[in-house]
C-alpha cells in the first residue's frame, strides 16, 4: 500500500490509521507548495488532485477520507478500528462523516480558502468568520459526544483519527483553544505511540 500525503493535511488521519494497523506501507509526499497535486503523474492516479490518496497493493486507487478509513478498518478487522456492533459502527461513521464533511469541508475550508467560496476579496473576512462559526459549533458537538469517554466510540476508532486532524489544525495551526473534552482527546491522541511516530515522520513533532 502507498499513501500519498501532504504533511499536516487531512491525510494525517489516514497516516495515523496505517501506523496503528502496523502492516507495511509506503508513503509518497506531495508538495503542495510546488503544486505537485496537479502534476500529470499524480492526476493520472487521482484526478481530484487531493490527498489522502491510497494506492492498494493491486494498484487500485482509493480516495476520500471516510472511504479509505472504512476500507482499512474492514480489511484489518482484528485491529478493532470500527466497533463490531451495528450501533457502535454507525456512531463512529456518523462522527467521522461529520468531522470530514462539516468541520473540515464547510468550516476549515472557508477559513483556509475563502476565495473558493467568494470571488470578491472584500467578502473573505465574512467567509472566514462563517467558517469559524461552523467549526466551533462542530467542535462543541464533538465535545459533547466525548463527555465521559476517552474516545468517540468508547474505544479508539477511525472517528478519532478524523477528529485528531481537525484538532491539530485548530490547536496547532490556528492556535485556538479546544473545548475541554476535545483538548483532553487531542492530548490522548498525541500520546499514542502510533501518533507520535506519524508526527515525527511528517515533521510535525513539537
Ligand X SMILES: N[C@@H](CCC(=O)N[C@@H](CS)C(=O)NCC(=O)O)C(=O)O
> Does position 45 bind ligand X by CB under 6 A?
no
Residue 43 in contact with residue 49, Cβ under 8 Å?
Answer: yes
CA distances for 3 relative to 11, 124, 140, 150, 197, angstroms: 8, 33, 31, 28, 15
Residue of 4, 42, 65, 164 that binds ligand X (CB under 6 A): 65
What gap in Å lies between CA 14 and CA 72, rounded to an integer?
A: 9
- 3 alpha-carbon distance from chain centroid: 13
Q: Considering the complex, state which of residue 65 and residue 186 has its C-beta at the smaller distance from ligand X.
A: 65
- Point out which span in 50-58, 73-81, 88-96, 180-188 binds ligand X (CB under 6 A): 50-58
> Does position 70 bind ligand X by CB under 6 A?
no
Residue of 3, 9, 158, 194 that binds ligand X (CB under 6 A): 9
Q: Considering the complex, state which of residue 52 and residue 114 has its C-beta at the smaller distance from ligand X.
A: 52
The backbone region for 165, taken as left when phi is positive above 0, alpha when psi lies in -120 to 50, beta otherwise, is: alpha
Residue of 3, 10, 82, 139 that binds ligand X (CB under 6 A): 10
Site for ligand X (CB under 6 A): how many residues?
11
- Strands (E) across the chain are located at 2-5, 26-29, 53-55, 61-63
Residue 48 in contact with residue 119, Cβ under 8 Å?
Answer: no
> Does position 99 bind ligand X by CB under 6 A?
no
- Point out which span in 48-56, 124-132, 150-158, 182-190 binds ligand X (CB under 6 A): 48-56
Contacting residues toward ligand X, per CB under 6 A: 6, 9-10, 37, 49-52, 64-65, 100
Amino acid at each position: 500500500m502507498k499513501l500519498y500525503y501532504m504533511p499536516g493535511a487531512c491525510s494525517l488521519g489516514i497516516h495515523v490509521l496505517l501506523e496503528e494497523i502496523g502492516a507495511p506501507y509506503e508513503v509518497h509526499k506531495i508538495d503542495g507548495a510546488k503544486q505537485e497535486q496537479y502534476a500529470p503523474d499524480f492526476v493520472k492516479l487521482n484526478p481530484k488532485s487531493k490527498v489522502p490518496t491510497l494506492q492498494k497493493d493491486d494498484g487500485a486507487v482509493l480516495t476520500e477520507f471516510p472511504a479509505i478509513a472504512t476500507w482499512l478498518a474492514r480489511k484489518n478487522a482484528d485491529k478493532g478500528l470500527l466497533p463490531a456492533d451495528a450501533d457502535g459502527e454507525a456512531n463512529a461513521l456518523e462522527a467521522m462523516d461529520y468531522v470530514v464533511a462539516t468541520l473540515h469541508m464547510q468550516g476549515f475550508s472557508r477559513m483556509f480558502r475563502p476565495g473558493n467560496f467568494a470571488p470578491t476579496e472584500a467578502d473573505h473576512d465574512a467567509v472566514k468568520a462563517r467558517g469559524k462559526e461552523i467549526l466551533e459549533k462542530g467542535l462543541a458537538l464533538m465535545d459533547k459526544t466525548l463527555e465521559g469517554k476517552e474516545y468517540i466510540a468508547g474505544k479508539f476508532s477511525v472517528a478519532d483519527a478524523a477528529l485528531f486532524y481537525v484538532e491539530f489544525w485548530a490547536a496547532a495551526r490556528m492556535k485556538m483553544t479546544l473545548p475541554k473534552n476535545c483538548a483532553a482527546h487531542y492530548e490522548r491522541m498525541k500520546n499514542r505511540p502510533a501518533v507520535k511516530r506519524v508526527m515525527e515522520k511528517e515533521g510535525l513533532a513539537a
